Amino acid sequence: MVFAAWTTMVAGDLDIFFSSSPTGAAGIWTPPARVNPDATGNGLDQWSPHMAVDPVTGLIEITFNDRRMDPANIMHQTRVASSPDCGVT
């Protein structure tokens, strides 16, 4: 399996997305899934994802910088999103 996490501009702010593929070949990737759970288009950024994958259990954890707690969109926290099943949920 090949896993990818990235930052992209959606609805006026930066968000984190995830996708997977059994081989990494073009055309066989899962649809991008939004990782950060805040409201879309709220003007608060999430960026700089880093991913860890446990090949035995299928646990995926993505850490990222997040500004959702600062209405001025300046200060940030580090957050983590987890999937226990290779990114299915």
Backbone phi, then psi, for 59, in 5-degree steps?
-70, 130
Angle at 79 between CA 73 and CA 81, to 5 degrees: 125
| Dist. CA 78–CA 48, nearest whole Å | 10
Structure confidence at residue 11 (pLDDT) = 86
DSSP state of 39: P
Determine the average pLDDT of the residues in 42-70: 95
Write out pLDDT tens, residues 11-24: 889 999 999 999 98
Q: Can you say how many angstroms the Cα of residue 12 is from the centroid of all Cα atoms in its chain?
A: 17
Write out the two tokens for 41: 């288009």
Write out pLDDT tens, residues 72-86: 989 999 999 999 998
Evaluate if residue 27 carries a pLDDT over 90.
no
Evaluate if residue 71 carries a pLDDT over 90.
no
